[in-house]
Amino acid sequence: MKYAIHEADRQWAAGIWDKLAVKLKEECLRVGPKMPYIPENGAYGDMAERNLVWWTNGFWAGILWQMYNATNDPAYKETAEQIEARLDQGLEDYMGLDHDLGFLWLHTAVADYRLTGNPKSRIRGLHAASILAGRFQPAGEYIRAWNEGQDGIAIVDCLMNLPLLYWAAEQRKDSGMRQIAVKHADMALQYVLRPDGSANHLVVFDTETGEYLDNPGGQGYESGSSWTRGQSWAIYGMALSYRYTGKKDYLDAAKRAAHYFIANAAVNDYEVVIDFRAPEEPVYYDTTAAVCAACGLLELSEFVGEYEKPLYVKAALRLLRKIDEKFCQWDPAVDSIVSHGSGRYHRESDREVPIIYGDYFFLEAMLRLLDKDFLIW
């Protein structure tokens, strides 16, 4: 197996997989080609009806492609293909697109191409990558996060979108796209990741000179705090940049972010809060940070030595077991699995609720442990 785990852990993971297989097949048949986000009264709506290119709209398709790869059940493939086709209008409309093109098209078109070789999917992925590359800001050497009225902002989340550029660079033998991804990752090494392994969410640059200006609070508690999902993006994103480039600085950064995350999660018995540097009360959880970090830790473990590997795999297992113990609901008639995901610290409407990407990362982590996954990033 890719990850050396004890037999008890393997049996536990296999048991979780059995429940995932039942639940996600029911959801596939019920939800179909919607683009779910947060369920209401246990039922998913269609976020695409409100915003076709909302940043989470690829994650349900990512779940479907992971399930198709693991089971070869055509129902997952056919539903994912419908979502992919719906997103074509987003490329055509263009104006609403931002730095999150990777979250949208890696989990749809690129996943399709990797698993089926569909040439139209390849073109969709390359189109999305070209738009992402076009957001590169030479002054400051970063990929701009958002659009009009939010100039000069780069965010830690974008590290997870860089694989779209790495993939496109390999497909087209385009060193320019690879250089853009590397430039952004290098910027993150300097301004997003801190020496202790914590991370800023937002950093702001002067749009004319590229001078670093500020690190606003973003979705965490405040400026200088430690928003945990941003921490998980840093672990996983830097590990992925190392996968594609072999640049040791990225591996070292991923380790630093991982050690910081593990130490802070351990203090709270692996129940991950929204921000590691928020007041002790009230306690607000973010399970999406935990499951994304678990995937990042497993990714990171693939690039370290034999005696270092168990640190990351065991920490991932502890995070995942805690999710199973406290934050999962398995009723096949109710949409979503992982509860207590949080969009941001200071917003009640999406704090401690089920969120679609929590289910995606939980599934990916379990499939990784069982060697049933494929690299979607």
Rounded distance between C-alpha atoms, residue 75 and residue 107, angstroms: 17
pLDDT at residue 4, rounded to an integer = 85
Structural domain harbouring 125: 7-369
Average pLDDT, integer, range 328-351: 97
pTM: 0.98
pLDDT at residue 149, rounded to an integer = 85
% of the chain at pLDDT higher than 70: 100
Catalytic annotation, pick one of 98, 112, 157, 335: 157
Rounded distance between C-alpha atoms, residue 47 and residue 26, angstroms: 20
Rounded distance between C-alpha atoms, residue 97 and residue 118, angstroms: 24
Q: Identify whether the C-beta of residue 342 lies closer than 8 Å to the C-beta of residue 284.
A: yes
Pick from 372, 377, 374: which is nearest to 20 by CA?
Answer: 372
Residue 303 host element (H or E): none
pLDDT at residue 141, rounded to an integer = 98
Q: Identify whether the C-beta of residue 342 lies closer than 8 Å to the C-beta of residue 26.
A: no
**100 annotated active-site:** yes
Tell whether 374 is covered by a domain.
no
Quickly state the pLDDT bin for 189 (edges 50, 70, 90): very high
Count of H-run helices and E-run strands, the chain: 14, 5
Is residue 82 scored above 80 in pLDDT?
yes
Residue 204 host element (H or E): strand 202-205
Residue 217 host element (H or E): none
Residue 115's contacts (CB-CB under 8 Å, 6 or more residues apart) are 65, 68, 69, 77, 374
Tell whether 218 is covered by a domain.
yes
Residue 238, CA distances (Å) to 40, 72, 242, 299 in order: 34, 31, 6, 10
pLDDT at residue 291, rounded to an integer = 99
Tell whether 377 is covered by a domain.
no
Average pLDDT, integer, range 244-251: 98
What's the CATH code of the domain at 272?
Answer: 1.50.10.10
Is residue 1 scored above 90 in pLDDT?
no
Catalytic annotation, pick one of 9, 18, 93, 100: 100
Quickly state the pLDDT bin for 3 (edges 50, 70, 90): confident
Average pLDDT, integer, range 165-184: 97
Pick from 48, 39, 55: which is nearest to 106 by CA?
Answer: 55
Rounded distance between C-alpha atoms, residue 295 and residue 190, angstroms: 24
Tell whether 376 is covered by a domain.
no
Tell whether 303 is covered by a domain.
yes
Average pLDDT, integer, range 125-139: 98
pLDDT at residue 2, rounded to an integer = 84
Is residue 174 scored above 80 in pLDDT?
yes
Backbone φ and ψ of 341, nearest 5°: -85, 150
Give tens-digit pLDDT for 211-238.
999 999 999 999 999 999 999 999 999 9
Give tens-digit pLDDT for 274-301.
999 999 999 999 999 999 999 999 999 9
Tell whether 2 is covered by a domain.
no
Q: Calculate the average pLDDT of the chain.
A: 97
**350 annotated active-site:** no
Tell whether 168 is covered by a domain.
yes
Average pLDDT, integer, range 6-15: 96
Domains in the chain, number: 1
Which pair of structure tokens corresponds to residue 184? 């952004």
Give tens-digit pLDDT for 43-79.
999 999 999 999 999 999 999 999 999 999 999 999 9
Task: Kindly give the residue spans of alpha helices, DSSP state H, lying in 270-308.
Answer: 287-301
Tell whether 150 is covered by a domain.
yes
Average pLDDT, integer, range 131-147: 97
Average pLDDT, integer, range 343-357: 97
